[in-house]
Amino acid sequence: MSITVQLDSPEEVAKKARAKGLLDPARLTRLIERELAEDEDSRDFFQMARDLRSLPGGPMTVDEIQKIVDEVRAERATREAGR
């Protein structure tokens, strides 16, 4: 698909953008694709946060998290000692 885009910007901005290749159609397409992907990522993040909040039970305490971290580290140390 082909679209024509007209930009109204100060001459100095246009010169710098052209010099950096930002006005190249392929580059503009990549910039737009990246921006759209970032929007998707942020939506995914917020959906994940909503999903997490909908799980039963309350949030873990710092002590509960630390206990799990300590267990994982102990398991790793045991595994590495056995090598």
pLDDT per residue as tens digits for the range 18-32: 999 989 999 999 999
pLDDT at 13: 95
Count of domains for the chain: 1
Residue 41 is part of which domain span? 11-81
In a domain, 41, yes or no: yes
pLDDT at 43: 77
For the chain, which residues score pLDDT lower than 70? none
Q: Is the pTM of this model over 0.85?
A: no
CB 27 within 8 A of CB 20: no
Distance (Å, whole) CA 74 – CA 80? 10
In a domain, 61, yes or no: yes
CB 9 within 8 A of CB 17: yes
In a domain, 36, yes or no: yes
CB 5 within 8 A of CB 24: no
In a domain, 3, yes or no: no
